Amino acid sequence: MSDQNTLHRQTWVAVGPAGTVGTILRTDGGFTVRLSAKGTDGGVYPTLAVAKSALFAALGPGADYPEFHEH
């Protein structure tokens, strides 16, 4: 769970064929993955590339790789 005092510096939205599947938030501690379907944080990762891979892996077998859009 993220700290309410954490500053979110950047946000990427992950979009799949059915719409938004998750987000990645850049914070002081790394990159936090949030999965839309599960409504939970999926962990904190050291780089954006690793966070994208973790989000994709969390989508499960057969999922298409999402597009990531910075907001």
Total domains in the fold of the chain? 1
Residues 6+ apart with CB under 8 A from 53: none
Domain containing 22 equals: 10-70
The reply to whether 5 falls in a domain is no
Question: Does residue 1 form part of some domain?
Answer: no
What integer pLDDT is reported at residue 7 of this predicted model? Answer: 56
Bridge-based pairing of strands 40-45 and 10-16 is: unpaired
4 domain residue, yes or no: no
Residue 21 in domain: yes
Confidence of residue 5 (pLDDT cuts 50, 70, 90): low
**This model's pTM is above 0.85:** no
- For residue range 16-56, list pLDDT tens digits in order: 998 999 999 998 899 999 998 766 677 899 999 999 999 99
**32 within domain boundaries:** yes
The answer to whether position 3 is within a domain reads no
